[in-house]
Structure 1
Amino acid sequence: MLIPIENVLSKDEVLHFRQQLAAADWQDGVKTAGTLARSAKTNLQLEDGSALAVALGNHILRKLGNHPAFISAALPHRIFPPKFNCYRNGGAYGLHVDSALMAIGGTGLTVRSDLSATLFLSEPDEYDGGELQIDGPFGVQAVKLGAGDMVLYPSSSLHQVTPVTRGERIASFFWIQSMVQQQDDRALLYDLDQAIQGLTPHSATSPDLITLTQVYHNLLRRWAVT
């Protein structure tokens, strides 16, 4: 399931990020690609662990921790520190799948990639091309969201970034280990939670709504691993 998460960052926050990233020391992204992906990857990335990457990444994590739509969709257990990339001058990333397990450097921790996230930092009209194309059960879906918005999708999906033929596509990307590993279970919980949130303003004390909430938490109790 592909889920857009709106307004992770405000427009002012995006502007601050872009000002900081404009002066960043971008490196060849092929250095961080796996063996099979190296020939398919032509982009730039911010150095992992740099002061700027850590500061901006921590800001994103703080915002996500207070974003109800993200919590509902991801049920996060552990999040890989956000990375940052830039596509320009024909830069692209061919069809690939994300690694299943990713070690967080210097921590001894490993993230199982259940969900992949792309947080867009460029507006769609700032560049041509650069669509995130995700191969799902109903065909290929192309994603190009507004700056500050994010998309979540299963890390098991084949996906690619098409060539950027004009302008720059700047984004943050990272992976989430969910408390609920199975995608179908997580999707069911998300749909149920969205229904509960939609009904709550109109009938917060309804016995039926209270029962739905009980069902949600009992399913979460059954499936979640912490």
Structure 2
Amino acid sequence: MHFLLEPLLSPPVVGGLLRRLRQAPEEAWRSGVETAGWHARTVKTNRQLDPTTALHGALAREVVEAMEAHPLVRAAAFPRRIHGLLFSRMGPGEGYGRHVDNAWMAGGRADLSFTLALTDPEACEGGDLLLETPGGEERIRLPSGHGIVYPSTRLHQVEPVSRGERLVAVGWIESRIRHGEQRELLFELDAARRALFAQDGKGEVFDLISRSYSNLLRWWDG
């Protein structure tokens, strides 16, 4: 399953990130082809902040800490590590054609991918994220500070920008629960027990559901 983070970062925090990114010298932005898989290099045209810079390290820490603290990320993604943060910049004519993310990134296995919008939708034309799901293609256009988390197994693309500039942060999650169906079942079971607790308090049925949740988490963690 995929889910939205509405929002992940507050407007003041996003504004600070954007200000520092736009102050970065042009030579700090490198071709996105450098981080693409061999098959994706033919369809990727963007620029990415050099990951070896101190600026990248500081901004990446802010995003990772926000992801780690978000209750929906903890409840639905079961993150073991959040890694591979990239800050991507696209202008007119730039985009990222249809592809699937690599199974392994430099920081670990890619079970889930995420995109965090830094610029507002009005900042550019084009640049929509197209996500292929079992129910069909979904068009994603996020407000500034909002994010989407989706299985890294999904084919997706970013439409070319025709006007303005698109700035996003992207990264990956290695989950403690490798299989998406298991993550979804655990998420629903946890939601059910929390709703039951809110309605009736801690009782026998709540205890049984909690035991099942904990045991499944114990068995599937790996």
TM-score (norm 2): 0.93
Aligned twin of 2:17: 17
Return the offset for 1:123.
1.4
- Superposed CA RMSD in Å reads 1.5
Find the aligned partners of 1:162 and 1:178 in 2 and give their Cα distance.
28
Equivalences for residues 47-58 of structure 1 within 5 A: 47-58=50-61
Please identify, of 84-93 and 195-204, the stretch whose mean Cα deviation from structure 2 is larger.
195-204
Find the aligned partners of 1:54 and 1:65 in 2 and give their Cα distance.
16
% identity of equivalent residues: 39
Return the offset for 1:168.
1.3
Find the aligned partners of 1:44 and 1:62 in 2 and give their Cα distance.
24
The one-letter code sitting in structure 1 at the alignment partner of 2:167 is I
User: Structure 1 pair 40/198, CA: closer, same or farther in 2 (3 Å)?
Assistant: same
3-state SS, counterpart of residue 7 of structure 2? coil
Gaps of 5+ in 2: none
User: Structure 1 pair 121/204, CA: closer, same or farther in 2 (3 Å)?
Assistant: farther
Find the aligned partners of 1:196 and 1:5 in 2 and give their Cα distance.
22
Aligned twin of 1:176: 173
Equivalences for residues 179-194 of structure 1 within 5 A: 179-194=176-191
3-state SS, counterpart of residue 82 of structure 1? strand
Aligned twin of 2:209: 212
Find the aligned partners of 2:50 and 2:20 in 1 and give their Cα distance.
14
Aligned twin of 1:148: 145
Q: Is the 8 A contact 2:84 2:106 kept in 1?
A: no
Return the offset for 1:196.
3.1
TM-score (norm 1): 0.91
Aligned twin of 1:137: 134
Map Cα deviations across residues 27-46 of structure 1 (whole Å, 9 max, x no partner). Answer: 22122222211120111110
68, 73, 80: which is aligned to 1:70?
Answer: 73
83, 86, 89: which is aligned to 1:83?
Answer: 86
3-state SS, counterpart of residue 122 of structure 1? coil
User: Structure 1 pair 129/196, CA: closer, same or farther in 2 (3 Å)?
Assistant: farther
39, 59, 71: which is aligned to 2:42?
Answer: 39
Q: Is the 8 A contact 2:84 2:105 kept in 1?
A: no
3-state SS, counterpart of residue 119 of structure 2? coil
3-state SS, counterpart of residue 202 of structure 2? coil
